[in-house]
Structure 1
């Protein structure tokens, strides 16, 4: 959170605080952030922790200190005449602390060690099956089956990981990690920013198609291996289009089929290997005759797709296909080429005979005079055909017209020179697709019982097969591109057939297109746009986004491809435009940074000769969740995954195949040595802590006696023995003194004084002995004190490497505010659920006021809108983001300072602001500009915008273009078509309200609604909805039942 001082005021996210809250910098620094808060308020401890993940592992040094203290305590108990039990207890306590510090050091070091594992990781097919099987049967919190696709091992990439990345890059990667950690093939340190775990993406999100982008050799094909294998394991049909013909991709798909026990389901197609390649007829499947012509005409090169050459080529193809079908022949590429290059004479003659035989009686007798006359008078090479045409035009056409015949006749009669020019771009396409060996591969006409496998797209999908199509584009890119394009066009036709006639038995069809820019065409865009309804899931891989524009010849069409892929998987990308596109499509974050300032001053005054200042400042600035430049540093097989739901993951992908031993790196050796060292230390501690006391008693020969009770509960026998020894020594000394006194004749020595000396000596010895014992007991404390001192020192080093700041925020107790807002929400609002149109699961709720306010009272509406924001904030935080919370806001309220300040304080992720009651205030450009700025602030603070009750008015159309809301709500399904014509932004959700029955819900989903709301929805999820709020539909139903009763 950034505080900016402007003209005697402080700005906090656009909110002004009066100058009375502002003190000079020194007093603020001394008093803390609370000096900015007016009296009577408290400060919320909103902590920003900057714990640098790549600082030195001080926890290891702390662990070493405590482990040294453990050894010191055991040595003290062994070498000094002290009880072993107490030494064991003290050493155990130090050992426990040391083990805890060692565990934290292991956690800290694991992030660094993980960056050293730069070797490729391999996974076998059985292992992949074991790992992905739980994801295929995963359930959500409501017990519903939500299968997922396993995407490798990684972690959820949030603003936390992004902030760590920015702080590390700001401090210098080489400085923090060392130059040895900067691998030449990528920034592996990115994967050490969080603990990795298995990552899965729900299959329902993958239905929105997936775009995989990455430069050459970074793992796009190996990622395809992992995804294709899981699709095969789920028993779904798979179509693989591989322009470069990667043999490893084909072999892995075949091995997975064999592993699943269905090797016969794998079909191999590759022009480079015609002997083992299956034959596929791309013109076998069609519903309307025009589809065949469109399928081939789509291959004609054109800048616009609607020029005269394409149109004429389409007409010729349509005429020939219609005539072939009329003569009960199946169209294929070879026949099309024959009749276009050699002319349609034979086909036209055959078609006319078929038509005459079916429609005209005695046609041969009627036609004979015309043939005889034509043969005698005609100067061309086909007098018989001319007679047939004349007979059709003069006699048959009046009673039995045929459109296909008429079209083919016009093609036949067209000027041959002009005809050759118009089909000049079509003939090369057909030649490419019908030269050997493609004649047999793409136009199969084998006799029954032939050993050559012949299939088509519909068979592949119906029988759940796995079709691999290698296009051999490396040897012949032009022909390979044409094959891929016509196959994709055929697949689009099959998708249309499934969509129109498949009913409820639609299958999930997985289509993988590698190097998609080489084969993509207009039918493929249609498949991306509408294939989801037929169950098609597209996975297209490319190197840069510019490849699509170069292939399609139109940047708008290239953007259509990008816009119809809801999921993005980004590997290493070197193209700047592609990097920018990826980064701009992800919301920004508030990256936290720290600055430290030192200052000093010297003055000549006596009152203040020296002045010093120290300042620490934490700021939050807008930054990219994934910076464009970092995409060029991703290691091979490392990627970012951007789900259609908005989540971002950082993962690494293993290579599917047999495990291979990789040569260990120097970092790996260092890590292994560190692990061995830790194991040795922990093993020593275990031996030291769990060996029985008797073992140490036998080793300590110097200890003659053990203190019975070192707490003083019983007599210290050993000390008493020492006292008795002292008494014997004193008695001996006293006897010598008395003897000397007697010998000297000094009779003045008083025996009483000798007794006092004797007693003082005894007690002095006892006191000094006790002091010695205390000092020996302190020998246990000495290692502990040293370890505690070292621990505190390194803890201060950790604090220096990290940073924690408090940001001031005005409120009266966070917990009290939350409680009051929740009570207000339950008292003043009802809630109505919002369901997913497809799964009927609860996606969010809308807070509805319990009483309808008078719209003529602007102040009342403003207060209602303010309370709605507070209630939405409380509910969103109460359910911790598990569902969205919608609240209604009148347009004029957004221009109010009261509502804006409330929004700044209470807006949070999960809150959706619905704009209602469009009024004349929007016609004022100044008011509308202010509203647009407020909408931007709502989004910056994590909120989402929605338009309520959309009816297609002109003022609403303008708002739709300017505000680009994430949700648009309509009262009736009939508005959906008008809404579709407005050109909604990518990802805009359409919510249909007033759903009163299951039939209405089904109809709304069919015509494009993504979410539903209404009385039927209230009753449908009555038991899955929060008990704190009663939906109005449930209340209406209960009232109706009560009335009937």
Structure 2
């Protein structure tokens, strides 16, 4: 039976025998060295030998008792785990996750025993602890005016080893989950090759997801990889932490910031400026529009109009951006004129301009214009007439002509969803950020380009400021991910140095790109699936952070698409979650465990036979019951995790229990955004 149970949740009776053995050893060893008459009928040499033997036995029994006391103490309170930023471990072969142990069946058995109501009193804080907490509550107001009382109160609250009543860490949850394996705890490393399968971090608000992100991003920066962090909240702590690590790694000149909440320190970024196929521009914008029910048809019309405008702009040597697209979608006439003249110069007879000018000046020609062309630009109408009369054909011309032929009122209805979104993206300082003027020499802020970032293995922090304007943040984040997906496709086909001279002339493997996306539900879209399942060959290692499975379903608008996305994360780290459905993303992938329980039985049997000298029989027994298919980890365990702790399903389905180091302020962190702004303006060569 001893093999089935841990048997450490009890009183430490070993201290009694230890005291007896050490006392006897003291008597034996005390008599022989001073030449006195021995108190024992033993020769001195034999007394000495027995004395040291009793010392060994006593110390062994005391050590056994201490193991029981320490085990119980660790179940109540885990040792403090913190590490200064400069001492955080990192490696080029592994990813440090904290301290932990592989979760196994014996940990489940210990957890079952620790949750037994019979041993609850052994794990609860003692009376002195409760008195200290009561004193602190009672003296809270009085200590404000009585310095000596305040000092006493500070003493009982001090988190120091000498304080026997120091408060338990304010992390909530069930500390037993880590305490049962604390003796097996060691630095936990994940093989970097396994990270190619990407990682999903689950956890509700305020349980340590951002702190875990800081730990992982720190190591990525120190390895010299390209690091891209997309943070919808715009967490300044994370920004400051990345800045400090860039300073430590001597890569501050490669640190880039795009922050919608602070345009003055942000680099500019054109979400539609880079593409492999021109249709990507329309897809990136149209995907931000509603697509349910009747809205799907309007989104398709918007895609068509944006695609036509984008193709015309690119053909004319321009770049589609958030300002040009809504301008020409609203009033296509100037773009139509520029493109038709550009096309006719190359495909029509040399005198086409004379014919068009004559038609414009002919009053009879104007009367024959279609109704939808009445009131439109006369030159644009003449160009369309000339193009149609001569039977020309060009895809872009046909698209522009189709927009020009549309009834104005009906056209405004079709673009009703598109234009409000584009106006939000181009209003105020954010508009200058997202639609950069490439010809504005007065604006010294660089324009972010992903190919340069990846080739230079740079560090990029993207803050979307979702708390201020969630719709703009969602649109920019999703478009940026679509841009990165397109970039991954280019890297996969051509490498990072396509078009640039290399020493060998051979195609080089793309650099590693560590992409971290916090608050995934804010930015997830259809483009995220190919980013996960096909970008591995392009060097992308994606780490995603979200709160629940429902967030993914809401972000993608489909349960099936969310399931497809979940199938592409090979590594899952689950912190405290709030729903059983989310917890089952881990627990449903685990094998069963065998759990044993002890059942005490007592029986008495009366004997009514007066001739039998035995009046009754009593029987006491302990029976062991086995539960062969118990949960190795239950959803309730994930719901009760303390802050800063997690279960990690990594390395091909192996389950680990891990806790993160407590954060300590890094002296290299900037004091405020003003410090960052000053350094960036100095780099850009602009006045403060």
Which TM-score applies when normalising by structure 2?
0.81
> How do 1:533-572 and structure 2 match up within 5 A?
533-572=537-576
Counterpart in the other structure of 2:679: none
Structure 1 counterpart SS, 2:234:
coil
- In the alignment, structure 1 residue 600 sits paired with structure 2 residue 589: no
- In the alignment, structure 1 residue 74 sits paired with structure 2 residue 29: yes
CA shift at 1:210, angstroms?
1.5
Contact 1:279 1:455 in 2 (8 A): yes
CA shift at 1:432, angstroms?
2.0
Q: How many Å separate the matches in 2 of 1:119 and 1:579?
A: 27
> How do 1:438-477 and structure 2 match up within 5 A?
438-446=430-438, 447=440, 450-477=443-470
Counterpart in the other structure of 1:350: 338
Counterpart in the other structure of 2:188: 199
Structure 2 counterpart SS, 1:132:
coil
- In the alignment, structure 1 residue 623 sits paired with structure 2 residue 578: no
Counterpart in the other structure of 1:632: 639
CA shift at 1:197, angstroms?
0.3
Contact 2:258 2:462 in 1 (8 A): yes
Contact 1:218 1:637 in 2 (8 A): yes
- In the alignment, structure 1 residue 506 sits paired with structure 2 residue 494: no
Counterpart in the other structure of 1:178: 124
Structure 2 counterpart SS, 1:252:
helix
Structure 1 counterpart SS, 2:344:
helix
CA shift at 1:370, angstroms?
3.0
CA shift at 1:62, angstroms?
4.5
- In the alignment, structure 1 residue 385 sits paired with structure 2 residue 380: yes
Q: How many Å separate the matches in 2 of 1:320 and 1:304?
A: 26
Is the alpha carbon distance of 1:198 and 1:60 closer, same or farther for their aligned partners in structure 2, counting shifts above 3 Å?
Answer: farther
CA shift at 1:203, angstroms?
1.8
Q: How many Å separate the matches in 2 of 1:450 and 1:210?
A: 39
1:351-400 alpha-carbon deviations (Å, 9 max, x no partner)? 11111223334133443333333796255231111111122222361xxx
Q: How many Å separate the matches in 1 of 2:582 and 2:14?
A: 42
Contact 1:367 1:388 in 2 (8 A): yes
Q: How many Å separate the matches in 2 of 1:587 and 1:453?
A: 53
CA shift at 1:654, angstroms?
1.1
- In the alignment, structure 1 residue 308 sits paired with structure 2 residue 297: yes
Contact 1:512 1:539 in 2 (8 A): yes
> How do 1:789-804 and structure 2 match up within 5 A?
none
- In the alignment, structure 1 residue 530 sits paired with structure 2 residue 534: yes
User: Which structure 1 residue ranges, 4+ long, deviate > 6 Å from structure 2?
Assistant: 181-184
Higher relative contact order, chain-length normalized (CA < 8 Å, sep 6+) = 2
Structure 1 counterpart SS, 2:527:
helix
Contact 1:600 1:612 in 2 (8 A): yes
Contact 2:586 2:649 in 1 (8 A): no
Instruction: Pick the structure with greater CA Rg.
Output: 1
CA shift at 1:528, angstroms?
2.4
CA shift at 1:88, angstroms?
4.4
Contact 1:375 1:383 in 2 (8 A): no
Which TM-score applies when normalising by structure 1?
0.54
1:73-122 alpha-carbon deviations (Å, 9 max, x no partner)? 22333674247655544333333333334444444444334345558643
Counterpart in the other structure of 1:428: 420
Contact 2:596 2:624 in 1 (8 A): no
Is the alpha carbon distance of 1:647 and 1:375 closer, same or farther for their aligned partners in structure 2, counting shifts above 3 Å?
Answer: farther
Counterpart in the other structure of 1:132: 90
1:301-335 alpha-carbon deviations (Å, 9 max, x no partner)? 22279821111111011000000011110111111
Counterpart in the other structure of 1:610: 616
Is the alpha carbon distance of 1:197 and 1:118 closer, same or farther for their aligned partners in structure 2, counting shifts above 3 Å?
Answer: closer
CA shift at 1:58, angstroms?
3.8
Structure 2 counterpart SS, 1:454:
coil
1:218-275 alpha-carbon deviations (Å, 9 max, x no partner)? 1000000001111111111111111111111011111111111111121112111111
Counterpart in the other structure of 2:134: none
Q: CA RMSD in A?
A: 2.7
Structure 2 counterpart SS, 1:655:
coil
Counterpart in the other structure of 1:719: none
Structure 2 counterpart SS, 1:275:
helix
Counterpart in the other structure of 1:123: 83
Q: How many Å separate the matches in 2 of 1:60 and 1:406?
A: 94
Q: How many Å separate the matches in 1 of 2:591 and 2:116?
A: 21
- In the alignment, structure 1 residue 164 sits paired with structure 2 residue 110: yes
Contact 2:28 2:51 in 1 (8 A): yes
- In the alignment, structure 1 residue 340 sits paired with structure 2 residue 347: no
Contact 2:85 2:666 in 1 (8 A): no
Contact 1:225 1:656 in 2 (8 A): no
Structure 2 counterpart SS, 1:123:
coil
Counterpart in the other structure of 2:659: 652
Q: How many Å separate the matches in 1 of 2:78 and 2:390?
A: 82
1:936-963 alpha-carbon deviations (Å, 9 max, x no partner)? xxxxxxxxxxxxxxxxxxxxxxxxxxxx
Structure 2 counterpart SS, 1:317:
helix
Q: How many Å separate the matches in 1 of 2:186 and 2:434?
A: 46
Contact 1:281 1:444 in 2 (8 A): yes
Is the alpha carbon distance of 1:514 and 1:648 closer, same or farther for their aligned partners in structure 2, counting shifts above 3 Å?
Answer: same
Q: How many Å separate the matches in 2 of 1:640 and 1:475?
A: 33
Contact 1:63 1:99 in 2 (8 A): yes
Q: How many Å separate the matches in 1 of 2:186 and 2:294?
A: 48
Structure 2 counterpart SS, 1:280:
coil
Structure 1 counterpart SS, 2:312:
helix
- In the alignment, structure 1 residue 100 sits paired with structure 2 residue 100: no
Which one has the bigger helix percentage? 1
CA shift at 1:565, angstroms?
1.7
Q: How many Å separate the matches in 2 of 1:70 and 1:247?
A: 64
